[in-house]
Structure 1
Amino acid sequence: MFNPKFTYTNTMVSELMSIEHSRAIVDLMPLPATVERDLIEKAKVKMTHYSTRIEGNLLDLEQVSRVVKQKPEKNRIAAEDEVRNYWEALSFLSREKKKGTPITEDFILQLHAIIYQHGTGRKALKSRYREATEPGVLFAVFDNKTRQPEYIPPEYSDVPVLMDDFTTWIKQETDLPIPIKAAIAAYQLLTIHPFEDGNGRTARALATYMLSLADYDMKGFQSLEEYYVEDLDGYYRHLQMGLPVLYYDGRHNPENMAPWIEYFVKIMSLAYEKVANLAKQFSTSNQHVLIALLEPNETTLLRFMIETNRPVKPIELTQLFQVHTRTIGKWTKQWVLKGLIEPAGGTKRITAYRIGSGYSEFTLADLGYKE
């Protein structure tokens, strides 16, 4: 059976302790439900954006946020499909966590099918492992600049056995700290490289799910992927660990996985510390955290309503943002749910909005503008 080897380091132990410290802070300083919902959605958008960005997706954070909030369209471009798929995969994982669904081969195949689905029409419920390439074609991960193989995975015929071994290890391994187990799982799925494409996204999503099953997801507030994007060279270098290009030359059983594990828990520690600091900030300054959570267009909205100092009509918001009335209709529903605004006129159809009670005491100075 798969038997990963590594040596605990002082840094690794220190980061594990930091992770536990941050978890305790978040548990002891709960946030209001509206703030929690906003943090979860923002983290989900970030995970979608940054995980696909690692694979070369060029949409920026604002574009990703817009794509995932819109209804699916038949004429989406590939980049939009990619982020929409990852968003749906994270939604799938959230539902499965509530059911406590264990990680199996079928589960991974289903997860990949959501991440990698293309085009319109009926989607496959499960993916298939990669198959034999055409004669003379090398299946490998190539360097974007040199076009030389960075990694040559195991033969396709070995993948089913390796995946069975891998998922058996996930099921039976109960002694390792969960962050370390998630780090190893992400590495091993990438190493087996069971699919023709989408392995990186699937591995990161699987690690996220493994952490969430054990309540190591900071209530869904964190996003490790944004740290990877800021250090892509370091991310790939630690995954490579200086090992040979060919899987069978040592990748199949590294002597010490500590470099990757140490990197993974370091990123976790930083991401969790950020969430813990936000919880502490909220406990001492309610207003500042609510302001910090605002999107750019929400800050513009709040400034406009403070300056107007009266209920505003939907048509005024359409003119303010220079968008279609249907778009304002979608945005206002989201803003009402968040508590940023609330209805101020109309019964069957809302004719005006005022600032939500949780934001009504803010001033232009709170938003960073001069009075």
Structure 2
Amino acid sequence: MFQPNFTITPAAATSLMAIEADRQAIMELPINVDVLAGLRETARLAATHYSTQIEGNRLTQAQVAKALAGAHFPGRERDEAEVRNYYRALEHIESLAIEGGPIDEVELRRVHGFVMTGKRTPTPYRPGQNEIREAVNGRVVYMPPEAPDVPELMSDLFAWINTRMAEHDLPAPLVAALTHYQYATIHPYYDGNGRTARLLTTLVLHRAGYGLKGIYSLDEHYARNLAGYYAALTVGPSHNYYLGRAEADLTGFLNFFCDSMAQALGSVRTRATDVAQTPGNRHTDDTAALRQLDPRQRRALELFRDSAIVTSSHIATHLGISPRTANTLIRSWIDDDFLEVDDPSKKKRTYRLRPRYERLVSP
């Protein structure tokens, strides 16, 4: 199994304390459904822009938003497809985040499928060797493990992730950081490894209780210090995986990751506090009511902002789950007095929120 070599330095410990303080403050912010939805969409757009920008995407953040809304930019068709695919992958990660249980390796292969094609078909791992070269001079800067070793290395990584998540023997940000590093190190595909590593990191943080309502993104902080990001990932005495990279000291990457996460949470705490305290948003504080709902119910509230009455298909699409799972979920929500059947006399069932929750999405 993956056995990372690292030390928790005073700098990392300070960052971890800052992360916890901001995490608690963000969770306690007075906030309503509209404010939450706006902050979450801002974070999605930032993650999509910066994560693809790291890989060379040329669209600006404003153009990313327009591309996701259907706009076209002549000569940038590949960039348009890339941001749309990443956004779909991010939505799929958010759907996975609200599920319980271990993180599934096949699901992450589906995430890579979204990244590369916009479809949820799992991508097979690379069948051959690849090399990471400098764009300017073609010099090899990293030689990943050989293709026959990739399946076992990936299986070991996911076993390690799920063991750490179950045993809680490492702070969640460190688990996320080490997950990011090892996925990028294995480099299981010819392309899309960085984007998928960052998405997996997001999933680990969400599953560990660091999702913070989906209102922050680490990608901006990587992109703004790209040299530091790449330098932190480049460890060991050789560019070859088998010549020391696997046993390298990862302390530097942990320091970089924890500092980036502390900056991200500090920024979003300031932004969320400002938005929550804007005069137009202060007339309702739905924090207490929202805390009583599970993550899927909170996401469903956003669907009811646009329509008071929805079908099971609407719920399935919005949450990224199968129709069968949606029907099972709806039955439990009716039993819990979260939903009610809108008109029992109709053959095709439609649903609305119970009055106590309907007020959360009322103008």
Amino acid aligned to 1:245? H
* Partner SS for 2:141: strand
Residues 35 and 281 of structure 2 are in contact (CA less than 8 Å); yes or no, is this contact kept in structure 1? no
Of 235, 238, 243 in structure 2, the residue corresponding to residue 241 of structure 1 is: 235
TM-score, L = length of structure 2: 0.73
**1:99 is paired with a residue of what secondary structure?**
coil
Paired position in structure 2 for 1:269: 262
Q: Distance in 1 between matches of 2:277 and 2:71?
A: 39
Q: Which residue of 2 aligns with 1:150?
A: 141
Output aligned runs, 1:111-190, within 5 Å. Answer: 111-117=111-117, 123=119, 125-132=121-128, 139-173=130-164, 174=167, 175-190=169-184
The residue number in structure 1 matching 2:49 is 49
Amino acid at match of 1:150: V
Q: TM-score w.r.t. structure 1 length?
A: 0.71
2:8 is aligned to 8
Query: Which of the two has greater helix per residue?
Result: 2
What 5-or-longer segments of structure 2 have no aligned partner?
283-304, 307-363
The SS at the match of 2:245 is coil
1:225-304 correspondence runs (5 A)? 225-241=219-235, 243-254=237-248, 256-282=249-275, 284-286=277-279
1:86·1:115 contact (CA, 8 Å) conserved in 2?
Answer: yes
Aligned residues: 281
CA contact (8 A) 1:132 1:156 kept: yes
> Over aligned residue pairs, what C-alpha RMSD do you find?
2.4
Task: Structure 1: state its 5+ residue gaps.
Answer: 134-138, 290-335, 338-371
- Residue 127 of structure 2 aligns with an amino acid whose one-letter code is E
Flag the structure with larger Rg. 1
SS in 1 for 2:2: coil
Q: Give the whole-Å Cα distance in 1 for the aligned partners of 2:94 and 2:246.
A: 31
Given that residues 30 and 279 in structure 1 are in contact (C-alpha distance below 8 angstroms), is that contact kept between their aligned partners in structure 2?
A: no
One-letter amino acid of the structure 1 residue matched with residue 70 of structure 2: Q
1:44 aligned partner, one-letter code: R
Is the 8 Å Cα contact of residues 218 and 272 (structure 1) preserved in structure 2?
Answer: no
Q: Does 1:203 align with 2:197?
A: yes
Give CA deviations for 1:158-181 in whole Å, capped at 9, x if unaligned. 101111111111111231100000
SS of residue matched to 1:214: helix
Matches within 5 A, 1:76-87: 77-87=77-87
| Residues 20-35 of structure 1 aligned to structure 2 (within 5 Å) | 20-35=20-35
- Kindly indicate whether residue 99 of structure 2 is the aligned counterpart of residue 99 of structure 1: yes
Quote the Cα distance in structure 2 between the aligned partners of 1:30 and 1:241: 43
Q: Secondary structure at the match of 1:250?
A: helix
8 Å Cα contact 2:39/2:272 also seen in 1: no
Q: Which runs of 4+ in 1 moved over 6 A?
A: none
* Offset of residue 71 of structure 1: 8.8
Following the alignment from structure 1 to structure 2, what is the Cα–Cα distance between the partners of residues 235 and 97?
25
Among all aligned residue pairs of Structure 1 and Structure 2, give the percentage whose two residues are the same amino acid.
37
What's the CA shift for 1:285? 4.4
Please state whether the residue corresponding to 2:209 is helix, strand or coil.
coil
Match of 1:192 among 168, 186, 190: 186
How far the C-alpha of 1:36 sits from its partner, in A, is 1.0
Partner of 2:334: none
